Amino acid sequence: MKVVSQYVREQKRYTKNDLKSKFSFDEDGVEKFIKSLKAYGVLKSVKNTDDQLAMSDLMDDDVEITDETAESGDCLYVFTYVGIITCGSRVIKVYPKYLLSKKDEDLLGEMKQILKVLERYSRSEEQIINVFNGDGENRSFNILAVILFLINDYYEYGIYTNSEDIVEINGEGDILWGKTIDESFALIEDNRPYYMELYTGKSIEDDTDYFKRLHECVLTECSRQLQDAQLDILFDMDSIELSEEVLDDFGDREYILERIIKELNLQFNTHRQILLKTLYAYVSQDRKMLDENDGISMYGTTAYHAVWEKACAEVFDNKLNTILGQLNMTVPLAEQYQGKKERHLKLIDIIEKPIWQGIDTEAKAADTLIPDLISIPCIDGKDWFIIFDAKYYNIQLEKGKSLRGNPGVGDVTKQYLYQLAYKDFIDAHGITKVRNCFLMPTENNEIVKKGIAKMAMLERLGLENIQIRQIPAGRLYELYLTGRHMDICELML
């Protein structure tokens, strides 16, 4: 089977003929391909217009075309996903929309890093394995996610083993003093006992254990599938060759599943239970990643903006959920925040919530303004209060070009209001350096000071206009993956 593996850019507009050519389809094949991707929510279709061709984002008011079999000139297709998708023998590598100038042959490094970022984000959000994609008629076993989980689990925890505790006389294990004292004969000299025979205990692993062998067999098969799909290099995974057995050597499928269920009933360790359940899913579905006409497999997200927000929050040392008493500013916590209750509030908790008043009642709303992240760095011996908003946009703000890819008026007004919400806290601590800033990704290697967003009526209230900074995504991801912070001086000064 010939594997067709191609890169596509998130949010780029593709014609049907583009997809047909890129993924080597005939007319019927490309229509089925498009229909499948749309059914799983990773591909949208919009009208084929000049305005759409110039867009870098799918806007809320873009009306999706529902006729997926429209003629190739009638609509454009947009991938609303970042990550890896397999559809039969086609492997679709969807890279983020801000990588505008890279050629396909130059994308390997960026894509490898992005997949590591997706993995770290998934772990931090405690997301479970997506064993299935879609629902109803479009429900499909997510073989790629299961394979990646099994291999990553092996790298972290090793092979599934069952051990047996054995007792020996004068062995090399730990001395079992209770058993030795109770059951062994002692010689007494100078009121001290001396034992000629010591009972010792150790655990030995059963190399012939059914589940150890099964785990090795599945891992070897998973590794080969990843290589066949040409994804092993992309996911930075070495070849795993642990077994020469095949699944048929362990009995028919029903027998293997029955053995796994029995083992599950004996295991109370959470990790072992998860591993056994994943092995059960792998065996029960009996599906190979590159099977034709057998659903879609995915590793990635349709909400990459959330990944960008999470990475920015960690790299810029978000204090939003920090307790006030632990902010470590250069000045003591102001008196009005020193009370037992106030001192233990988080920075996010001091934003006012709307109050709704009726004729004879009053109620406080549950929700309020929530900024993406707040940083309170010390720069040149002074505290700064910086309100960041991570915006996953490709902004076009150049002379002679129309404004595109910019946050909406609601985003701008909210950014001003965040400063207003913290005005009392800022004034109480004598903070004179306050900044508002949008953080957007760029493929460039240097921070780009893009400009500002402002509204005169809010500027007149003494609120800071919103600075626009494009952050080198590759550099930010490197810091995110290694748990380091970016020097905020680079942004603000």
Q: Tell me how many degrees the CA angle 381-386-388 measures, rounded to the nearest 5.
A: 150
Domain, as residue range, for 429: 304-492
Co-location of 343 and 480 in the same domain: yes
- Do both 225 and 266 map to the same domain? yes
Residues 386-421: pLDDT tens digits? 999 999 999 999 999 899 899 999 999 999 999 999
User: By mean pLDDT, which of 18-27, 165-174, 291-300 is the weakest?
Assistant: 165-174
Which of 181, 205, 229 is the last residue in one of the domains? 205
Q: What is the pLDDT of residues 272-292, one digit of tens each?
A: 899 999 999 999 987 788 776
Evaluate whether 9 touches 27 at the Cβ level (below 8 Å). Answer: no
CB 470 within 8 A of CB 450: yes
Tokens of 122: 């998934």
280 plus 169 within the same structural domain: no
Q: In 3D, which of 374, 471, 469, 467 has the Cα closest to residue 418?
A: 374
153 has a pLDDT exceeding 60: yes
- Domain ends where: 274, 301, 328? 301
Does one domain contain both 246 and 279?
A: yes
- Which two tokens mark 37? 């991707």
Half-sphere exposure of 445 (CA within 13 A, CB side): 0
pLDDT of residue 123: 82
The answer on 33 and 114 residing in a single domain is: yes
Provide the pLDDT confidence category of residue 1 given band limits of 50, 70 and 90: low
Of 79, 47, 56, which is closest to residue 403 (Cα–Cα)?
A: 56
Are both 321 and 418 inside the same structural domain? yes
Q: What does the pLDDT read at residue 57?
A: 58
Please state the rounded mean pLDDT for residues 37-61.
Answer: 72
Give the pLDDT band of residue 60 (cuts 50, 70, 90): very low
User: Same structural domain for residues 420 and 485?
Assistant: yes
Indicate whether 137 and 249 sit together in one domain.
yes
| Mean pLDDT for all residues in the chain | 87
Tell me the mean pLDDT in the region 113-138.
75
- Return d(Cα 376, Cα 316) in angstroms, integer: 10
- pLDDT at position 155 is 93
Residues 272 and 382 grouped into a single domain: no
Q: What percent of the chain has pLDDT over 70?
A: 88
pLDDT in tens, 347-391: 999 999 999 999 999 999 988 989 999 999 999 999 999 999 999
| Domain end position, chosen among 253, 282, 301 | 301
- Specify the pLDDT at position 62: 46
Token match 């204090």: residue?
319
DSSP state of 326: G
Q: What is the number of structural domains in the chain?
A: 3
Q: Are residues 109 and 253 in the same domain?
A: yes
pLDDT band at 51 (very low <50, low <70, confident <90, very high): low
- Are residue 89 and residue 189 in the same domain, yes or no? no
Predicted local distance difference test score (pLDDT) of residue 69: 43
Q: Same structural domain for residues 144 and 56?
A: yes
